[in-house]
């Protein structure tokens, strides 16, 4: 299946609500652009003429997009499972009086999801590099290259679990006491 890389309102990459590479408006005025499984670059459904080196760059960029999407799918599945377990477990823990154990287990599961989100962020530098290399080698791709270094920097900020100050202070105190 072809992978959209922008145009017609599809600018950037959106994985589970995290947006990389600009907002939809940056490429919305452009025709839709896609990369095929064979490494063809299509603009408005028409194949752009490319050479072997450009095809290699297109395939590398496509592989990077797929790795981000796979990480996003993993996060989504884990989040759904955690939600179902939380709903089930909340009732059971309230009835059994073991809500503290349940809360600890849910926090541990949440930390696993945050670790998966960090893996997604780890995939952004190669995606940015492949996008930049592709934009430099294939002029027709340049208008679709909307991701920049701030997307990479912002990713970890966006994946941090935001908790109230008391919980953060307690964690910081516990961490400094253990060191």
Long-range own/partner contacts, residues 45-48 (CB < 8 A, 24 or more apart)? 48/138, 48/140
- pLDDT average, residue stretch 46-61: 97
Beta strand 3-6 with 41-43 is unpaired
- pLDDT at residue number 158: 57
Asked whether the predicted pLDDT for residue 110 surpasses 90, the reply is: no
- pLDDT at residue number 171: 47
Asked whether the predicted pLDDT for residue 137 surpasses 80, the reply is: yes
pLDDT band with cut points at 50, 70 and 90 for residue 126: very high
The 10 Å Cβ neighbour count of residue 122 is 15
DSSP character for 91? H
- pLDDT at residue number 25: 64
Q: How far apart are CA 150 and CA 137, in angstroms?
A: 22
Between 166 and 91, the more confident residue is 91
- pLDDT at residue number 48: 97
Residue 6 β-bridge partners: 33
Asked whether the predicted pLDDT for residue 7 surpasses 60, the reply is: yes
Mean pLDDT of the chain: 76
Asked whether the predicted pLDDT for residue 100 surpasses 90, the reply is: no
Between 100 and 15, the more confident residue is 100
């Amino acid at each position: 299946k072809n992978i959209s890389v922008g145009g017609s309102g599809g600018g950037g990459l959106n994985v589970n609500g995290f947006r990389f590479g600009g907002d939809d408006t940056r490429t919305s005025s452009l025709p839709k652009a896609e990369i095929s499984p064979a490494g063809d670059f299509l603009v408005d459904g028409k194949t752009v003429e490319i050479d072997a080196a450009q095809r290699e760059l297109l395939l590398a960029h496509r592989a990077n997009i797929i790795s981000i999407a796979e990480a996003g799918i993993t996060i989504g599945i884990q989040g759904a499972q955690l939600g179902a377990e939380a709903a089930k477990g909340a009732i059971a823990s309230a009835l059994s009086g073991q809500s503290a154990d349940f809360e600890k287990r849910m926090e541990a599961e949440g930390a696993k999801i945050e670790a998966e989100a960090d893996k997604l962020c780890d995939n952004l530098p190669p995606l940015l590099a492949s996008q930049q290399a592709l934009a430099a080698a294939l002029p027709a791709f340049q208008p679709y290259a909307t991701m920049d270094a701030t997307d990479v920097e912002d990713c970890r900020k966006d994946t941090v679990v935001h908790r109230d100050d008391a919980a953060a202070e307690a964690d910081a105190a516990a961490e400094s006491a253990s060191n």
